[in-house]
Chain A
Amino acid sequence: MAKVFFSSWNGNVLDERKKIYDERIDLKQLELPPDIEGANIKALVGWSGLVIVDPEVNIVNALQEYFNNVQKESCGRCIPCRVGSKAIADRLEKIISGHGNEEDLDQLEGLASLVHDGSLCELGISSPLPLLHALEYFRKDFEVFLNNTPTEKTNDHYRAILTAPCRNGCPAHINIPAYIEAISEGDYAQALAVNREKTPFVGTLGRVCVHPCESNCNRQPVDQALSIRLLKRFAADYGLRNGYDQKTAKNKVQAKKEKIAIIGAGPAGINAAYQLARKGYKVTVFEALPVAGGMLAVGIPSYRLPRDILNYEIDLVRNLGVDIQCNTRVGEDISLEQIREEGYKAIFIASGLHKSSNMGCRGEDECYMGFMPGVEFLRMLNLGEKINLGETVSVIGGGNVAMDCARSAVRLGVKEVNLIYRRTKHEMPANAAEVKAAEEEGIIFHLLANPVCILDDGGVVSGMECIKMALGEPDESGRRRPVPLDGSEFVLKADTVIPAIGQVADFNFITEDCGLETTKWGTLVADPLTMATGVPGIFAGGDAVLGARTVIEAIATANRAAEAIDNYLSSGKCFIGENAVMEKFIEKTGVYKEETVPEMVGSRIRLEEEIAPVEDRLAGFDEADLGFKYQAEVIKEAERCVKCLRLGLAVL
């Protein structure tokens, strides 16, 4: 049980030094994990203070290491951080080497205050805090070094991580502050390049990402979050219009001899292919559907994600030499065994969830005509198949897929589209903007309602019996459980019923003897860090492992898997790099805290994107949201960024 010796984290000073060991507070109470991959944390030096677990830790050395890292990360724009952190690091070095004196400690305090008061961004503002706290509470540790011969070398290990609330909130940890800064300085090419480090799907994410980054933006209490998603979209669209990808020099990479197979050309599969091809591997992707893109191609409608944008980004991956074989269903056209026999040294399973979940409602298994699970409906629509929905449609669900189904139905000319959801609008998991757009497009919302039975007329759907709900006690997700109100049944006419309440996997290619385990929810078991399954050489990611989640989470798993596969093939050991480990570690502590939001002067209005008028939207499947247009305004929006860079150092 890790106990806190001292903590000044998050503005609360907990000085447990005087207490005996057993009476000290658990590390868990600070919401900090006790170890990183098994190595115990001795101390944490970070942006909101110090946390000391092991009293023997050499805090002065740790601070020197911390400031060396600040220097490495300092962008160089402002004098206090750029020069001040070097002055601090030099002085700490002087003290550690035994040449320091009392005056140096006073100088340190002065420098730390200046860097804190004067720096441009949070890196400079926050990094002196642990030093100031150490000087206040652990001055003796410094004095030990003064005018003394240097003590023996410490055997502490250090792991540093640069993060920011937005970056931390992003599952893939895209370097958001860097690309926003690039845009604010007019360097759109750099903004695109920063994103491309993590994914080819920049324009795609710029349109469909659920942007957890924005929910972590420090501007929220002051005015509104930065429009991070749309800035990303701007970088991609601008780059597309001006041929940035064709202009950038290609990095020369040595071709590796191993070849890797990927099952599923969805966001996880393509992203993994992208990263592995960039490392020099020969990659083949097996895709069951006639098109590549997974749910991006057959789930999300084209008015949200134009196909030319998606295909342009998939082509970038093809141009790296990745072979995407469509119309090849693993389990039918080729088996897992055959893939192994063909010499693929590693396999990444990213087959997604393409089957619709059951509603638990009478009549759904009767195969009535007009009963169309949402996933199927969208797939048919996006593959260009003819669909006749009739005059009235009922969509069940409250997530983005349900919105996609409803909004696609109106565009197909359906006169009346009803949306049935068992909780209230506030609890709908769909993006608020989607819900608003759906309302504008004339979709009728039936909230706090649930279907009971599908009604038919000779095997053809004629309507739905529903029941009104009321909200009861919260369930495990924290949301209040809906409870049916007896006697409140009502009937909705419908020519087509489209359930869109969830998705499940189709793992018919996984045989009993292949050794892969599944969870009770029907997803594959894989290590959360390396994405390795129980079978050596087989990795898995995306919805197939996480359950029905988002594109950016799929991409995050793909990036980790690609790293792990690379390490596995070159060393035989399955692991991900230190940086990725640290990023996952910081995820647990969380970086965004409303109490530690930086001070800001005045509020600035967030730039809104242009949205096509409702009549134009309903006319077809042209893009509905038009993004940002003028560079001058985009630069102003990017300038709202406060640059909340934070540096953390774990002492192990």
Chain B
Amino acid sequence: MNNTISLNIDGKRVFVDRGTTILEAARQNDIYIPTLCYHPRLEPLGHCRMCVVEIEGMQRPVTSCDNPAEDGMVVTTRNDRLVKMREKILELALSTHPYKDCLTCVRTGSCELQEQAYYYQACLPEQLERDIAPGLTEDNPHIIRDDEKCILCGRCIQACRMLAGRSVYDLVGSGVNTRVAPVHNNEEVSLEEAGCIFCGQCVDVCPVAALTEVGRRGEGREWELKRFEGICNECSLNCHLERCSSGENLIRVTVPRDGDKTAWLCEKGHFGFKEVMAQHKNNKPLKYDGHGYKEIDYQKAVSETGAKIKELIDSGKTENFAVLASGNLSNEESFLLQKMARSVIGTEKFNLGAEKFWVKALCLSMKVTGLGIPGPLPSDINEADGITVIGSGLEESHPVAAMAIQKAARFGRAAVVRIGDCTNNEESWEQVALDLGGNSLVKLFEVMKKVIENPQQDYKEELPGVSIGQLKKAIEVITADNNITVVAPSFFADCDDETVAELINLLTSGGVLEKGRSRVMLLSAFGNACGVLLTGGANWYGPGLIKSNSEEIYDQQSIISEIENGKIEVLLVFGDGFKDLVLPKNLYGITVASSIDQAPLGTKLFFPAQPLPYKRGYYTNSSGRTRVNRTISSETKLMSEDWRLITDIAATIGSRWSYKAIEDVRLEMKSVTPAE
């Protein structure tokens, strides 16, 4: 059967792939058919009926969004009957929509209903009497619901199920009194009680102002907002996002409008920016003068930092200097910082944000797949027939991964195997909670590998307490051609060399890792762990994964131990992850963080860090994909950049670097880091 079919739309012969809907066929050929409930990221709903077309040989018009085009079909998208229908449908929709609010509505100018009403110059009908309570529902800090404006397109219900894998919304009532509401156990409840994780997908897809974000109202017209592509760095997935700004103010964050069909964001990515911006309270460097913190001039602060470090270098005590970063450094910053530590100061005592065993796992996996082979993305989880999860706590550490798994398990094809964590959070057709039964993870991996290589053998004695049926099922899932394995950060937190090695062996024998292909997501607790690693910030390797010659290997814990033992005299800290650290009195700590509250106790000198929305930089996610974060600030008003701070400090110590612009840093990085 031919994969290309041809049909006639409005007299024009078009060619499309078999399976394309009539609407898609029209859009691919620049033929306009109006829609209200259609959304490119969702399955067609067929609710609004605006997209009706006439098909030759059929008496009634049909919706073009949810009917496949057929070979030889003759379609009319516009004639008197269809236009009249659409006008009437709009009129009916407007008679149940408080259009008098248009003047001050958040969506005015960007509302899909308003757009259609304008296009058809719809007549404005009287409002039909409905039993819908006016007013907004504001029962949570992120999402505002307005029942009166809802046109019941159904996008939010489907988005919650098919994009987030949850099932928060349902239809309640009947006729014109039908409403979309959060429902749990047949009762109408608040969003949170219905299990909402505030990923905001519903708000992103709402065509009108029935679902809006808190804080959006009055903050600028939609077309006045500038949009900047960026990434989230709250976890190592580094999801794509789009930041909308009005002038220098960050107004909103959404999933990117174009690009990947299944875009994901979680609460932290979508709505977390408010908290992040609120945290950046101090915007000038501070110095501790014995009683409290006083503002200090930038140049002075830099000089003093340099002076303290130079003191150590000159007295030959470079081993009393250390650098710690919480893994949110951009690639450029990590590159510069490790260069300063290694070539200007001459020390390996730094860890810029990558766990030891995560690094080990990633490097071992690259030995199998080859360098530069990226791992899977959350959108790959969608298509998986099997998902294996090792470790626990994904809902907190990497919510988007948890969402993708939930969705694949509930609405896709995936069977889910959980190793070690037996709390089954998502529903699925097939799930296996493989309890270790008292055995170690190493032993389990070893035996699983053996069973894969030799299925006939009996391994019951080697793993007492583990159901062999469950084991076989788990192996079936792992070895499925379309399996994705997700390793949560909790695995790397409590690990050892042997376990990591056995994990990689298991994944290799199961076909999850093979030359040129990786189907495993190794998730780090640090946001830019992979970028840090590739630029040499995880001190076992230099930039480009050249093995470091040094004998000493430092992970974060060993540096912290040295701090606590009083061995460190000067410490440079980058990022917000160390506020629980208490610095001894004799230690001169310099911290770059969002505010002094986020700095370790006892910090002597503080520099305000650049908030991510304002930072230019490259970041690499735990699947090895490098993404760019653009600043929302205009060139002229760029706040002092963090990468500049590093070069300034380096300059006072005596480096002879000359980076005129960030592009110079990037050029140098390109020449040493492996191609992605």
**What is the total number of residues of chain A having a CB less than 8 Å from a CB of chain B?**
46
Residues of A within 8 A of B95 (CB): 83, 87
User: How long is the Cα–Cα vector from A368 to B55 in the complex, in angstroms?
Assistant: 70
Residues of B within 8 A of A242 (CB): 427-428
A177-209 CB contact bits vs B (8 Å, 1 = yes)?
Answer: 000000001110010000000000000000000
**B96 on the A face (CB < 8 A):** yes
Q: Are A87 and B92 also in contact (CB < 8 A) when A75-B174, A76-B175 are? A: yes
**A79 in contact with B161 (CB, 8 Å):** no
Q: Are A79 and B89 also in contact (CB < 8 A) when A185-B161, A602-B67, A631-B429 are? A: yes
**B174 in contact with A118 (CB, 8 Å):** no
User: How long is the Cα–Cα vector from A84 to B174 in the complex, in angstroms?
Assistant: 13
- A644 to nearest B CB, angstroms? 14
**A601 in contact with B175 (CB, 8 Å):** no
Residues of A within 8 A of B162 (CB): 186
Query: Closest chain B residue to A603 by CB distance?
Result: B70
Which of chain B's residues 9-68 have a Cβ closer than 8 Å to chain A? 45-49, 52, 55, 58-63, 67-68
User: Binding site of B, secondary structure by majority: helix, strand, loop or mixed?
Assistant: loop
**B61 in contact with A118 (CB, 8 Å):** yes
User: How long is the Cα–Cα vector from A248 to B170 in the complex, in angstroms?
Assistant: 16
- A634 to nearest B CB, angstroms? 9
Residues of A within 8 A of B430 (CB): 241
**A86 in contact with B411 (CB, 8 Å):** no
**A249 on the B face (CB < 8 A):** yes
**A631 in contact with B96 (CB, 8 Å):** no
Residues of A within 8 A of B128 (CB): 83, 86-87, 90
- B189 to nearest A CB, angstroms? 12
User: How long is the Cα–Cα vector from A190 to B184 in the complex, in angstroms?
Assistant: 11
Residues of B within 8 A of A84 (CB): 92
**B46 in contact with A120 (CB, 8 Å):** yes
**B499 on the A face (CB < 8 A):** no
**A79 in contact with B174 (CB, 8 Å):** no
Stretch at the interface among B150-158, B253-261, B321-329, B355-363: B150-158
**B105 on the A face (CB < 8 A):** no
Which of chain B's residues 325-365 have a Cβ closer than 8 Å to chain A? none
- B157 to nearest A CB, angstroms? 7
Residues of A within 8 A of B431 (CB): 241
**B171 in contact with A75 (CB, 8 Å):** yes
Residues of B within 8 A of A125 (CB): 60
**B70 in contact with A79 (CB, 8 Å):** no
User: Which among A76, A116, A118 is the interface contact of B178 at CB below 8 angstroms?
Assistant: A76
**B466 on the A face (CB < 8 A):** no
User: How long is the Cα–Cα vector from A1 to B93 in the complex, in angstroms?
Assistant: 48
Residues of A within 8 A of B427 (CB): 238, 241-242
**A85 on the B face (CB < 8 A):** yes
A60-83 CB contact bits vs B (8 Å, 1 = yes)?
Answer: 000000000011111111111011
Residues of A within 8 A of B67 (CB): 601-602
- B94 to nearest A CB, angstroms? 9
User: How long is the Cα–Cα vector from A339 to B209 in the complex, in angstroms?
Assistant: 65
User: Which among A71, A73, A118, A630 is the interface contact of B176 at CB below 8 angstroms?
Assistant: A71
**A187 in contact with B175 (CB, 8 Å):** no
- A3 to nearest B CB, angstroms? 33
**B167 on the A face (CB < 8 A):** yes
Q: Are A631 and B413 also in contact (CB < 8 A) when A77-B47, A249-B186 are? A: yes
Q: Are A79 and B413 also in contact (CB < 8 A) when A117-B85, A601-B55 are? A: no
**A602 in contact with B68 (CB, 8 Å):** yes
**A72 in contact with B174 (CB, 8 Å):** yes
**A632 in contact with B411 (CB, 8 Å):** yes
**A86 in contact with B157 (CB, 8 Å):** no
Which of chain B's residues 484-511 have a Cβ closer than 8 Å to chain A? none
- B446 to nearest A CB, angstroms? 30
- A610 to nearest B CB, angstroms? 12
Residues of A within 8 A of B175 (CB): 70-72, 74, 76, 82, 85-86
**A114 in contact with B89 (CB, 8 Å):** yes
Residues of B within 8 A of A77 (CB): 45, 47, 152, 154, 171
Residues of B within 8 A of A382 (CB): none
Q: Which 7 A-B pairs have the closest CB atoms?
A: A76-B178, A71-B175, A83-B92, A242-B427, A601-B67, A186-B161, A630-B413
Q: List 22 A-B contacts (CB under 8 A).
A: A70-B175, A71-B175, A73-B174, A76-B173, A76-B178, A78-B47, A79-B47, A82-B176, A82-B178, A87-B95, A111-B88, A114-B85, A118-B89, A120-B47, A187-B170, A238-B429, A241-B429, A241-B430, A601-B58, A630-B413, A631-B413, A632-B412
Measured CB to CB, the residues of B under 8 A from A are: 45-49, 52, 55, 58-63, 67-68, 70, 81, 85, 88-89, 92-93, 95-96, 128-129, 151-152, 154, 157-158, 161-162, 167, 170-171, 173-176, 178, 185-186, 410-413, 427-431
Measured CB to CB, the residues of A under 8 A from B are: 70-80, 82-87, 90, 110-111, 114, 116-120, 125, 185-187, 190, 238, 241-242, 247-249, 599, 601-602, 629-633, 635
Starting from the known contacts A120-B63, A633-B413, 16 additional A-B residue pairs (CB-CB under 8 Å) come to A74-B178, A75-B174, A76-B173, A79-B92, A79-B152, A82-B152, A82-B178, A83-B96, A85-B175, A90-B129, A111-B88, A117-B81, A118-B88, A125-B60, A190-B170, A631-B429
